[in-house]
Amino acid sequence: MRSHYCGDVNESLVDQEVQLCGWVHRRRDHGGVIFVDLRDREGLVQVVFDPDRHEMFAAAERIRSEYVLRVVGKVRLRPEGTVNSDMATGQIEVLGLELEVLSQAETPPFQLDDDRVSEEHRLRYRYMDLRRPEMFQRLKIRSNITRVLRDFLDNQGFLDVETPILTKATPEGARDYLVPSRTHQGSFFALPQSPQLFKQLLMVAGVDRYYQIVRCFRDEDLRADRQPEFTQLDIETSFMDEDQIMALTEEMLREVFAKVLEVALPNPFPRMPYAEAISRFGSDKPDLRIPLELIDIDDVLKDVEFKVFSGPASDPKGRVAALRLPKGAELSRKEIDDYTKYVGIYGARGLAYIKCNDVAAGREGLQSPILKFLPDEAIATIMQRTGAEDGDLVFFGADKANIVNESLGALRVKLGHDRGLVKRGWKPLWVVDFPMFEWDEKDDRYTALHHPFTAPSSDISPETLQENAATALSRAYDCVLNGTEVGGGSIRIYREAMQTAVFRTLGISDEEAQDKFGFLLDALKHGCPPHGGLAFGLDRLVMLMTGASSIREVMAFPKTQSASCLLTNAPSQVDDKQLRELGIRQRAQQASK
């Protein structure tokens, strides 16, 4: 049907006949001549219909936006003065010789080049939305990225192995999506939150190097930029330590950035211990493009009379930190109030600050409601430690450490963006030396910071694990890119005694461990190699690489924030018959759509 894509017609084809298929992007009637911009995934080309050919011209008069056409025509240079330099094919046009309407179209639900269309509308008519060139470009880049990733891993001897989608519920942090079993009524499959245990079993099986581009499912409340189903590049290897795994996978990222974006990422990626990331940036995924840092001043303030500072400064679970904003003294009262509200989202009860007008003049050169509470030497040390200069502003956070970290960490990023301080370019980072466990105040027990199959650092034995739970470090690593966690993984436990010790530390009884993870514990008894791996969030990686504003923009058919599909209306009610077959009866309160 077709000799060329519309977007590929160029001067080299002048005087030749081409056969094109595509959608009517725009149709213009110009005093007896009809111009149609014909569009396909590769771009637009202008087709001209002359009135001399009556029948074809009459047909051209009836075509509307988004009709699907087949056109046979002759390529010619555009007349002098009508060249369109904004268009890739703007030097030429195609004189229509034959026209066939393959498909008609109703009035489009929105103009493809209208960028004010709501996301709801776009999702409802996603097939129209995907006709927009920037959407197609993202799908194309995504496809390029996965191809380069696969090529790299294939060349390194990795095997692409599929793992089950209908599987067993495993607690890995989030809520499971459940699927009722018809053949075992009352029992449920879970959709995998990740293939974690299967990839470990593949290592026990001797597969040695595994990868999979795999859909994962987590039934979380969709805060921020999450999707109920998302894609991971999942990797596992045997007989490699964390340094080798990080080296190999960062090589893979360098390759994909070089091949897809022609960008050279650093070699090697820098590494930073978790504790340092939290202390300097208030976050375990610091955006290193932003040159602002949290500075500890607990020691300076623990004895001052001002309780707002001395309280958290002398509390082992508290923290007082300063954040210097260069040229921040120019912030208005209103801007400072807005930042105070902003840190409130993270639980901060206030946002103290000092404006630095003339640092050399000491107290007199500074401006702040809190100055009167602070002794001279504390002020001097704060100025000196933060490196404050004339015209700067220093913010303070004083509270429970996690509140200070989260609020100042978020403020740091917001200031970076608001004040144009974000450096251009790519800043990858490995965060390492994570704590093994986190104390969960609500449940009064430890939870695994990564997941329960992560190995503790090598100086810990199963016998000493429990008593060192608060301070034990793990062999986990996260890959952070420009402030987004794009990947994470760990060296795994490969001995049953250690796996059991971890379950016990997490408050999982031996029976529960047997019930939920018996198959893993059994496998560990049958010759398990030392192994480890990681998973990259493919959607996030593609989002960053395409400069998209959300992962929804790089998925063909994403769901809404409330986990529904506006295109198909899923989830939806099912027939009673289907439920009966599954042995399921709905409670009186029908699930809302």
- Contact set with ligand ASP (CB under 6 A): 194, 196, 488-490, 533-535
Where do the H-state alpha helices sit in 221-267?
Answer: 242-256
- In terms of CB distance, is 173 or 583 closer to ligand ASP? 173
- In terms of CB distance, is 397 or 533 closer to ligand ASP? 533
Which residue sits closest to ligand ASP, CB atoms considered?
194
Q: By three-state DSSP, how is residue 225 classified?
A: coil
- In terms of CB distance, is 73 or 452 closer to ligand ASP? 452
CB 405 within 8 A of CB 282: yes
Phi, psi of 534 (to 5 degrees): -170, 170
Question: For 177, what's the count of Cα atoms within 13 Å in the CB-facing half-sphere?
Answer: 18
Residue 21 burial (CB count, 10 A): 18
User: What's the CA gap between 550 and 61, in Å, rounded?
Assistant: 41
CB 517 to ligand ASP: min, Å: 14
User: What's the CA gap between 193 and 174, in Å, rounded?
Assistant: 8
Identify the DSSP state of 330. G
CB 487 to ligand ASP: min, Å: 8
Find the length of the chain. Answer: 593
- In terms of CB distance, is 312 or 488 closer to ligand ASP? 488
- In terms of CB distance, is 323 or 535 closer to ligand ASP? 535
Rg of the chain, C-alpha, whole Å: 30
CB 534 to ligand ASP: min, Å: 5
- In terms of CB distance, is 428 or 487 closer to ligand ASP? 487
User: What's the CA gap between 405 and 402, in Å, rounded?
Assistant: 5
CB 188 to ligand ASP: min, Å: 21
Distances (CA, A) of 435 to 113, 143, 275, 517: 49, 36, 9, 23
- In terms of CB distance, is 149 or 535 closer to ligand ASP? 535
CB 125 to ligand ASP: min, Å: 33
User: What's the CA gap between 282 and 99, in Å, rounded?
Assistant: 63
Identify the DSSP state of 329. G
Token pair of 136, please? 């197609």
Closest CA to 559 of 310, 270, 227: 227
Q: Residue type for 148, please?
A: V
CB 489 to ligand ASP: min, Å: 4
Q: Residue type for 99, please?
A: L
CB 462 to ligand ASP: min, Å: 21
User: What's the CA gap between 401 and 410, in Å, rounded?
Assistant: 14
- In terms of CB distance, is 228 or 489 closer to ligand ASP? 489
- In terms of CB distance, is 204 or 398 closer to ligand ASP? 204
Distances (CA, A) of 242 to 59, 121, 237, 405, 477: 66, 46, 10, 27, 8
User: What's the CA gap between 38 and 87, in Å, rounded?
Assistant: 12
- In terms of CB distance, is 73 or 488 closer to ligand ASP? 488
CB 518 to ligand ASP: min, Å: 20
Token pair of 109, please? 């639900």
CB 159 to ligand ASP: min, Å: 16
Cross-strand partners of 215: 231
Cα end-to-end span (Å), the chain: 44
- In terms of CB distance, is 328 or 488 closer to ligand ASP? 488
CB 327 to ligand ASP: min, Å: 40
CB 485 to ligand ASP: min, Å: 10
